[in-house]
Amino acid sequence: MTDRDLARQIEAVRRFNRFYTQRIGVLDEGLLDSPYSLAEARVLYEMAQREAASAGALGRELGLDAGYLSRILRGFVQRGLVARRRSADDGRVALIDLTAKGRREFDRLNRDSQREIGRALAPLGAEDRRRLLASLAAVETLLGDPARRGERTIVLRGHRPGDMGWVVSRHGALYAEEYGWDISFEAMVADIAARFIRAFDPAHERAWIAELDGERVGCVFLVRQSPRVAKLRMLLVDPVARGLGLGERLVAECVAAARALGYARLTLWTNDILLAARHIYVRAGFRCVRRERHRSFGRSLVGEYWELDLQPRAGRRAR
């Protein structure tokens, strides 16, 4: 990356910061036409989410300077929003908690905030809302504390009406963006998805849709090829969910189900430029058995055929 590229990226982030702080009214004297600054409203919010806590613990959670937080809390005490008391476990520790008045003020701010965000979302259609929420999740994941990424809720479920449209469109958009593949790839995925739905055999096939905080972010399919062989198809992890181990989890679910259903071998087809997926397959025990050059999706590619022995013969180690 050149210095010029980095400068452009920094300016893009700063431009977004300027836009968003103006959009949500952070620059106004009082947040949401209230007598509270953004920092004061944030302190009220955190206090409303917990039992009584020490000022030190609250400051560490919020990342606020101790002196600044002390001034905010002193003002809250003067307004009757916060009460102080000594800890029953350690008399040296002062605990702070919202009073009934403080709770009412928080409830009012919370309602006003929800109403304001609701007005911002109202003009957006369902797909635009999905894009917005996915982008917000990406910012939180990429710029948040890496140690806390695993705390986000990922759910794997079976497919249901509406999922296949997402699978097809997300594959098409993501591979076009990241690899420059043309619309013929989306057509191929649509054909695979349509055949899966038309001929779905619940006794021998499976599908997993991954949701992160209620939004679809990944998928994988187990498709029957023969009584002894199954195929792993359409593995996808959206960028907003990368770094959370979701790809490994989806492949592990697929492998475990193939074994449980009695298949002897699990196969897949991929391309050598899909490095992240290939690493997942290697860690899961797959081995590449054949490669071939081909021209597809508007690109010259190297296709790869991979296999995993699920029930190795006696005296033969599983690879």
Cα 150 to Cα 214: distance, rounded to the nearest angstrom = 16
Report whether pLDDT(254) > 90: yes
CA distance 204 to 227: 9
Structural domains in the chain, sorted by start: 3-123 (1.10.10.10), 154-309 (3.40.630.30)
DSSP assignment letter at 182: -
Find the length of the chain. 319
Task: Round to whole Å and give the CA distance between 240 and 133.
Answer: 10
Residue 30 has pLDDT above 60, yes or no: no
Q: Could you count the other beta carbons within 10 Å of the beta carbon of residue 203?
A: 6
Residue 162 in 3-state DSSP?
Answer: coil
The answer on pLDDT for 315 being more than 50 is no
Instruction: Say what angle helices 163-179 and 183-198 make with each other, to 10 degrees.
Output: 160
Q: Of residues 120 and 149, which shows the higher confidence score?
A: 120
- The predicted pLDDT at position 289 comes to 98
- Is a pLDDT exceeding 50 seen at residue 90? yes
Three-state DSSP class for residue 155: strand
Cβ-in-10-Å burial (0-12, 13-18, 19+) of 167 comes to buried
pLDDT at 312: 63
pLDDT of 170-228, one tens digit each?
Answer: 999 999 999 999 999 999 999 999 999 999 999 999 999 999 878 899 999 999 999 99
Residue 147's pLDDT is 58
Helix, strand, coil shares, percent, the chain, to 5 = 50, 20, 25
52 phi and psi angles, rounded to 5 deg: -55, 140
**Would you state the torsion angle of the CA atoms of residues 124, 128, 130, 131, taken in this order, to the nearest 10 degrees?**
-140
Rounded distance between C-alpha atoms, residue 244 and residue 146, angstroms:
10
Q: What is the pLDDT of residues 103-143, one digit of tens each?
A: 898 888 888 888 888 888 889 888 788 778 777 777 777 77
